[in-house]
C-alpha cells in the first residue's frame, strides 16, 4: 500500500474541547498545526456536556480556588495529584474568561456576569456548604463551548483534517514520538503525519460498557494507540458511573438538574440521599450518589415493576426555571424517557460516563512513562490522566480539564517545537509496516468474528464484571473473559471491502482500541484490592481500620498498566501541591 | 419480547462497486427496545456491515445523522419509529453530492457557514474579567446559538439546492444573525455588507422548509427576516 507523508510542526489528534483549545494556542502562535478528527469538530463528544464548567469566579457568592482544590482532592478520594489539581483550579477563572472572550454564550447574572449554579461536591470553605461554581450556558454548556472553540479555530485558520481516523502512534528508535499514521475515511488512503510534537486529545472510551452515556465515537482511540506503542495506562480501574442516565436509553441527564433543585426519590417517594449524605444530600459526589441508588435498588426500593431505577423529580420546580435553565433536559426526557419533567419525574439509573484514568501526563501535558517524559508526546482531556480526577471526578471538572490542559499542552508544545532543529528524523519503516499489517490482516480475514457481536460480548462482560460495585470473584472471571474476547478481536472480519467511507473497517479498527481499554480496566481493577472513589469492592468493606475500605498504607498509589503481558506497576501519588499546604488525608464524607 | 417487522427502502451507492445508485428493499425484526430510527439502523448495520451512515451522540446534539426520512429531513436518533409510515424510505440529504449510501459531502454547507465569519469579533482590549452582558441581551442569542450544523435546513431549501455556492442558506444565515445579535460583537456593519448581495441573503423566499425540518426547533426564517430588517433600516 502506498503511504503518503505530510509534515507539520504540531499534530493534534481529536477535535473536542481539549484538542481545539490546544489548536487555538498553536495556530495563533503561527506554528504549522494539523488537527486530525474522525468526525467534523462540532460532532465531538464535548458537545454533549450539559451542566457547566467549574471556576471559582465567585459571581454569586464568595468562592476561592483553594476551596475548589480541596473539593477536587476530596472528590478524587486523594488519588489525584495535588500539583496538577492546584494548577487546574488556579487556572480555572482565567481559561473560563478566555472562553467568554472567544464568544461562549454563557448565561448571565443580573449584573451581567457569567451565571453559576451549584453542582455535586462543589462546596465553600473547605467542605462546609454548597457553592455556585459551575459556569453554565443553560444545560448546553458543552455544545456552546465546543462551538465557541471551533469558531475561534476558524478565526485562527487552523488546518483540520476532518473525517480522518488516526491508526497508530509512530515512535523513533530512541522512543520519541514522531507523529501518527492516519486513514482518510472518504478514500481509504493512509498518510503519515510527521510532527515535532504530537498531542492526543481523543476523548474517553465509555463504549467499553454496554450501558453508557457516551457517543458511539467514544472508543478510546488515543488510549488504544498509546497502549500499542508501549505507553503505560494510568488508573484505568476508575470509571465514573453518572447517577442520572435515562433508564433504558443511557442518555445523560445533567447533575445541573439536582443543582437547580432536583431530588432523587425511591419507590416510596423518599428522598433517600438524606440517609447517605446528610450534608450534601443529592449533591454529594457522583460515586457516592450512584452507589446509594444501586443500594436502594438492591434492597428492593427501586421504582417500576422490576425495581430497576429511581426517580429524578423536578416537578416542584417553577416551570419557568425548567424552561430557561434546563430546556435541553426537558427535551431529552420527552424524547428518551417519554415523560415531561414539568409534570412527571424522570426514571434514571447510574450509567457509565467518564474515564478517570488514561495516558499518564504531568500538568504540562507531557506524557510520562516509567523512565520520565516521552519526548514529543502530549495528551490532554479524557484520554489523559494528569491526574486531576483521581478515583472520582467532580462534575464540571471535565470541561475545565479540557480548557486548562488543552492550553498548557499547546504552550508546552510551542516551547518544545521552538527548540527543535528544522530537520525531522527518519521514521523507522517497521513502525509504518505494523499498521499496514493490521489493516491487511483485517482486509484478508476469512471465517473471522463479527465486529458487532465481539464488541457486544466485550460490553456485556465489562458491565457485569466491573460495574458500580465490584466483586472479587467477578473481577477474576472478568479478566479471563476479556482476555478470551481479545482473541476474537484479533480475528474480526468485515464483509465490506470498499475503499470509500468504509464504516465497517472503521468500527473494526475502533474495536482494536476498545479492547485495550477493557483489558487495562479489568486487569487494573482486579489487582487493586481496596475500595477508593469509583472502585468499590466487596472484599474491601468499611472497617474502623480502613474507613470506606480505603487502604492508604498499601494503595495510595497510581496503577500503571502495560499492554505487554498485562504487566502492572505503581507510582506514588503527588501529595505536595505547587504553592499551598497539602490537603491532608481523611475520611470522605458528604 | 414482542417483535415486529419493519420494511425499508434505502438509497445505496458505493462508487467503488456500483455503477449507479439504487434503492434497496430491506426488512428487519425489531423489538420494543428499538424506539428510534437510529436504533434500527444500527441493527441493520449489524446484519449488513456495508450500510454506511454517520452517527455519534445518538441524542440530537452532534448533528451527525441527518438524512431524508420518508421525504423529510431529520435526525435518525430523534425520529420515533412509530411515527413513520412503511416502507420507511431513507435517502441522503438532498442537494449535496453523495459520497456513499446516506453519507453526503458537506463541503459546500460548511463553506457557507465559514463565509459568514462565525466568530465574535471584538477589537476592544479584552477586560481582565468577562465582558458583561445583561440577561436580556443574552436572551437574544436563544434560538440561534443552539444550532448543531446538521444541515437538515439548508438541504431542504430550494434556494440552496439551486445556488449552494452563492446562497448562504438557512444554517449559515442563522449563524450570521447569532453574531449580529451578540452585544459583544462589534462588526454588525461589516456582517451586513458581507450579505448585501442578490444571492447571499436575498435568495431566501421564505418558503420556510427550514423551520419545518429543524430538529432543534429553531427558526432560521425569522433570523433571516431580522437581518433583512437591519439592512433596510440601515439603507434609509
DSSP states along A408-461 = HHHHHHHHHHHHS-SSPPPPPHHHHHHHHHHHHHHHH--S-EEHHHHHHHHHHH
Q: Which residues contact B179 (CB under 8 A, 6 or more apart)?
A: A103, B116, B117, B118, B119, B120, B121, B185, B191
Q: Looking at per-residue confidence, does B3 or B109 come out higher? A: B109
The CATH number of residue B78's host domain is: 3.10.20.30
Percent of chain A surpassing pLDDT 90: 98
Task: Classify residue A361: in a domain, yes or no.
Answer: no
Domain count of the fold of chain A = 2
Of A324, A353, A382, which marks where a domain is finished? Answer: A353
B217 and B156 within one domain:
yes
Q: Residues A442, A526: one domain? A: yes
Same domain, B133 and B69: no
Omega into A453 within 30° of 0, i.e. cis?
Answer: no
How far apart CA A246 and CA A255 sit, in angstroms, is 12
Are residues A111 and A58 in contact, defined by beta-carbon separation less than 8 angstroms?
Answer: no
C-beta atoms of B59 and A332 within 8 A: yes
B59/A111 Cβ within 8 A? no
User: Has residue A2 got a pLDDT over 90?
Assistant: no
Do B54 and B143 reside in the same domain of the chain? Answer: no
Nearest CA to A438 out of A203, A195, A172, A181 is that of A181
In a domain, A297, yes or no: yes
> Does residue B82 sit in the same domain as residue B21?
yes
CB-based contacts of A165, cutoff 8 Å, min separation 6: A38, A182, A183, A185, A221, A506, A509
Last residue of a domain, one of B87, B104, B121: B104
| B75 and B111 part of one domain | no
Domain range holding A307?
Answer: 240-353
pLDDT surpassing 90 at residue A370: no
Using a CB-CB cut-off of 8 Å, the residues of chain A touching B54 are 39, 43
- Give the range of the structural domain holding residue B114, as residue numbers without chain letter: 107-235
Residues A439, A494 contacting (CB under 8 angstroms): no
Same domain, B85 and B116: no
In terms of domains, do B98 and B142 share one? no
Please indicate, yes or no, whether residues A257 and A348 belong to a single structural domain of this protein: yes
Per-residue pLDDT band at A570 (split at 50, 70, 90): very high
pLDDT exceeds cutoff 70 at B152: yes
- Domain CATH for A438: 1.20.58.100
pLDDT > 80? residue A301: yes
State how many domains chain B has: 2
* Domain-terminating residue out of B104, B137, B159: B104
Looking at residues B221-228, what average pLDDT do you find? 98
pLDDT over 90 (residue A275)? yes
Q: Is A370 exposed, middle or buried (0-12, 13-18, 19+ CB in 10 A)?
A: exposed
Tell me the pTM: 0.97
pLDDT at B33: 86
Q: Is residue B221 located within the same domain as residue B117? A: yes
Of A319, A353, A387, which one is at a domain's C-terminal end?
A353
> What is the per-residue pLDDT across A219-271, written as a single tens digit (0 to 9) for each?
999 999 999 999 999 999 999 999 999 999 999 999 999 999 999 999 999 99
pLDDT tens for each residue of B23-82: 999 999 999 889 999 999 999 999 999 999 999 999 999 999 999 999 999 999 999 999
> Which pLDDT score, from 0 to 100, does residue B32 have?
86
Which of B15, B18, B59 to substitute to test the interface with A, most A CBs within 10 Å?
B59
Of all residues in chain A, what percent carry a pLDDT higher than 70? 100
Dump pLDDT digits (tens) for A33-56. Answer: 999 999 999 999 999 999 999 999
Calculate the average pLDDT of chain A: 97
Identify whether residues B17 and B83 lie together within a single domain: yes
Q: Are residues B137 and B87 in the same domain?
A: no
Model pLDDT for residues A63-119, shown as the tens digit of each residue: 999 999 999 999 999 999 999 999 999 999 999 999 999 999 999 999 999 999 999
Verify whether the Cβ–Cβ distance A112 to B132 is below 8 Å: yes
Chain A positions in Cβ-Cβ contact with residue B182 (cut-off 8 Å): 103, 105
A286, A393, A455, A528: the catalytic one is A286
Closest CA to A330 of A255, A322, B219: A322
Q: Does B101 score more than 70 pLDDT?
A: yes
**Nearest-CA neighbor of A532 among A505, A512, A554?**
A554
Interface test with A, best of B119, B132, B150, B182 (most A CBs within 10 A): B119
Please judge whether A215 and B118 are an interchain contact, meaning their C-beta atoms are less than 8 angstroms apart: no
With an 8 Å Cβ cutoff, are A155 and B119 in contact? yes
> Final residue of a domain: which of A353, A381, A407?
A353
The runs of H, that is alpha helices, within A174-255 are: 221-228
User: Is-catalytic flag, A286?
Assistant: yes
Same domain, B111 and B202: yes
pLDDT tens, position by position, A173-225: 999 999 999 999 999 999 999 999 999 999 999 999 999 999 999 999 999 99
| CATH number, domain with residue A316 | 3.90.700.10
Residue of chain B whose alpha carbon sits nearest to that of A212: B57
Host H or E run for residue A274: helix A273-276
pLDDT range class, residue B235, cuts 50, 70, 90? confident
Asked if residue B78 and residue B36 are part of one domain, the reply reads: yes
CA B230 distance to own-chain centroid:
25
pLDDT of residue A395: 95
Q: Is the pLDDT of residue B1 over 70?
A: no
Radius of gyration of chain B (CA): 20
DSSP string for A109-174: -TTSSBPEEEEEEEEETTTTEEEEEEE-STT-HHHHHHHHHHHHHHHTT-EEEETEEEEEEEE-TT
Q: Is residue A523 part of a domain?
A: yes
Q: What is the mean pLDDT of chain B?
A: 97
Is a pLDDT exceeding 80 seen at residue A487? yes
Task: Tell me the mean pLDDT in the region A139-157.
Answer: 98
A149-153 average pLDDT score:
98
Q: A572-576: list long-range contacts, CB under 8 Å, 24+ apart.
A: A573/A78, A573/A79, A573/A80, A573/A81, A573/A390, A574/A81, A574/A82, A574/A83, A574/A84, A575/A78, A575/A82, A576/A82, A576/A83
Average pLDDT over residues A554-581: 98
Q: What percent of chain B has pLDDT over 90?
A: 97
CA nearest A119: which of A87, A86, A141? A141
pLDDT of residue A1 exceeding 80:
no
Question: What confidence tens digit (pLDDT) does each residue in A414-467 have?
Answer: 999 999 998 999 999 999 999 999 999 999 999 999 999 999 999 999 999 999
C-alpha cell belonging to residue A6: 505530510
Rounded to 5 degrees, what angle do the CA atoms B141, B145, B148 make? 160
Q: What is the pLDDT of residue B236?
A: 77
Amino acid at each position: 500500500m502506498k503511504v503518503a507523508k505530510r509534515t507539520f510542526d504540531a499534530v493534534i489528534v481529536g477535535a473536542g474541547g481539549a484538542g481545539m483549545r490546544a489548536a487555538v494556542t498553536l495556530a495563533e502562535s503561527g506554528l504549522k498545526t494539523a488537527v486530525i478528527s474522525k468526525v467534523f469538530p462540532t460532532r465531538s463528544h464535548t458537545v454533549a456536556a450539559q451542566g457547566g464548567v467549574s471556576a471559582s469566579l465567585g459571581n454569586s457568592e464568595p468562592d476561592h480556588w483553594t476551596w475548589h482544590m480541596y473539593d477536587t482532592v476530596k472528590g478524587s478520594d486523594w488519588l489525584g495529584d495535588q500539583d496538577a489539581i492546584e494548577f487546574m483550579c488556579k487556572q480555572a477563572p482565567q481559561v473560563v474568561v478566555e472562553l467568554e472572550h472567544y464568544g461562549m454564550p454563557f448565561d448571565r447574572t443580573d449584573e451581567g456576569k457569567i451565571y453559576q449554579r451549584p453542582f455535586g461536591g462543589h462546596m465553600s470553605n473547605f467542605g462546609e456548604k454548597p457553592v455556585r461554581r459551575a459556569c453554565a450556558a443553560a444545560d448546553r454548556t458543552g455544545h456552546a463551548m465546543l462551538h465557541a472553540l471551533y469558531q475561534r479555530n476558524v478565526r485562527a485558520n487552523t488546518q483540520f483534517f476532518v473525517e480522518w481516523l488516526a491508526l497508530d502512534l509512530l515512535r523513533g528508535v530512541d522512543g520519541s514520538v514522531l507523529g501518527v499514521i492516519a486513514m482518510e475515511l472518504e478514500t481509504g488512503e493512509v498518510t503519515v503525519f510527521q510532527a515535532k510534537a504530537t498531542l492526543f486529545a481523543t476523548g474517553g472510551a465509555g463504549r467499553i460498557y454496554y450501558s453508557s452515556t457516551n457517543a458511539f465515537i467514544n472508543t478510546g482511540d488515543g488510549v488504544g494507540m498509546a497502549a500499542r506503542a508501549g505507553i503505560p495506562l494510568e488508573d484505568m480501574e476508575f470509571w465514573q458511573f453518572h447517577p442520572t442516565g435515562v433508564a433504558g436509553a443511557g442518555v445523560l441527564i445533567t447533575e445541573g438538574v439536582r443543582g437547580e433543585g432536583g431530588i432523587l426519590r425511591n419507590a416510596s417517594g423518599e428522598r433517600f440521599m438524606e440517609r447517605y449524605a446528610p450534608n450534601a444530600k443529592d449533591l454529594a459526589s457522583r460515586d457516592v450518589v450512584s452507589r446509594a441508588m444501586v443500594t436502594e435498588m438492591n434492597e428492593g426500593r427501586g421504582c417500576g415493576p422490576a425495581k430497576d431505577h429511581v426517580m429524578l423529580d423536578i416537578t416542584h420546580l417553577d416551570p419557568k426555571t425548567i424552561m430557561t435553565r434546563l430546556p435541553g433536559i426537558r427535551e431529552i426526557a420527552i424524547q428518551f424517557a417519554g415523560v415531561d419533567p414539568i409534570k412527571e419525574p424522570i426514571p434514571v439509573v447510574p450509567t457509565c460516563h467518564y474515564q478517570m484514568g488514561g495516558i499518564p501526563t504531568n500538568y504540562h501535558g507531557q506524557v510520562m512513562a516509567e523512565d520520565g517524559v516521552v519526548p514529543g508526546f502530549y495528551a490532554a482531556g479524557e484520554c489523559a490522566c494528569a491526574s486531576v480526577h483521581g478515583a472520582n471526578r467532580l462534575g464540571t471538572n471535565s470541561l475545565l480539564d479540557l480548557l486548562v490542559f488543552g492550553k498548557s499542552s499547546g504552550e508546552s508544545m510551542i516551547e518544545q517545537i521552538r527548540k527543535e532543529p528544522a530537520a525531522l528524523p527518519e521514521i523507522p519503516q517497521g513502525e509504518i509496516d505494523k499498521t499496514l499489517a493490521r489493516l491487511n490482516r483485517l482486509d484478508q480475514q476469512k471465517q473471522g468474528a463479527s465486529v458487532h457481536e465481539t464488541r457486544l460480548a466485550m460490553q456485556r462482560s465489562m458491565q457485569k464484571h466491573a460495574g458500580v460495585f465490584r466483586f472479587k470473584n467477578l473481577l477474576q472471571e472478568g479478566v479471563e473473559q476479556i482476555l478470551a474476547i481479545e482473541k476474537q478481536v484479533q480475528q474480526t472480519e468485515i464483509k465490506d471491502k470498499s475503499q470509500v467511507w468504509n464504516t465497517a473497517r472503521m468500527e473494526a479498527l475502533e474495536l482494536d482500541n476498545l479492547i485495550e481499554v477493557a483489558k487495562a480496566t479489568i486487569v487494573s481493577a482486579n489487582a487493586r484490592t481496596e475500595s477508593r472513589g469509583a472502585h468499590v469492592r466487596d472484599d474491601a468493606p468499611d472497617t474502623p481500620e480502613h474507613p470506606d475500605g480505603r487502604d492508604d498504607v498499601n494503595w495510595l498509589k497510581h496503577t500503571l498498566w502495560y499492554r505487554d503481558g498485562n504487566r502492572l506497576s505503581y507510582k506514588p501519588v503527588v501529595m505536595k501541591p505547587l504553592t499551598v499546604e497539602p490537603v491532608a488525608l481523611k475520611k470522605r464524607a458528604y | 419480547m414482542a417483535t415486529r417487522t419493519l420494511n425499508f427502502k434505502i438509497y445505496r451507492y458505493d462508487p467503488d462497486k456500483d455503477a449507479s445508485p439504487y434503492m434497496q428493499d430491506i426488512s428487519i425484526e425489531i423489538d420494543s427496545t428499538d424506539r428510534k430510527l437510529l436504533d434500527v439502523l444500527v441493527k441493520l448495520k449489524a446484519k449488513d456491515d456495508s450500510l454506511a451512515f454517520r452517527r455519534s451522540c445518538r441524542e440530537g446534539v452532534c448533528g451527525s445523522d441527518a438524512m431524508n426520512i420518508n421525504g423529510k429531513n431529520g435526525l435518525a436518533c430523534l425520529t420515533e419509529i412509530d411515527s413513520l409510515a412503511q416502507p420507511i424510505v431513507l435517502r441522503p440529504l438532498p442537494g449535496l453530492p453523495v459520497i456513499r449510501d446516506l453519507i453526503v459531502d458537506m463541503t459546500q454547507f460548511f463553506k457557507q457557514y465559514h463565509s459568514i465569519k462565525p466568530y465574535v469579533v471584538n477589537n476592544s482590549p479584552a477586560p481582565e474579567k468577562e465582558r458583561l452582558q445583561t440577561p436580556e441581551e443574552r436572551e437574544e442569542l436563544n434560538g440561534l446559538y443552539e444550532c448543531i450544523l446538521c444541515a437538515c435546513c439548508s438541504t431542504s431549501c430550494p434556494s440552496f439546492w439551486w445556488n449552494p455556492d452563492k446562497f448562504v442558506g438557512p444554517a449559515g444565515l442563522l449563524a450570521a444573525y447569532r453574531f449580529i445579535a451578540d452585544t459583544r460583537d462589534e462588526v454588525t456593519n461589516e456582517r451586513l455588507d458581507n450579505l448585501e448581495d442578490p444571492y447571499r441573503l436575498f435568495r431566501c423566499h421564505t418558503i420556510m422548509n427550514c423551520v419545518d425540518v429543524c430538529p432543534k426547533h429553531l427558526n432560521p426564517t425569522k433570523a433571516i427576516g431580522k437581518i433583512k430588517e437591519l439592512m433596510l433600516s440601515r439603507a434609509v
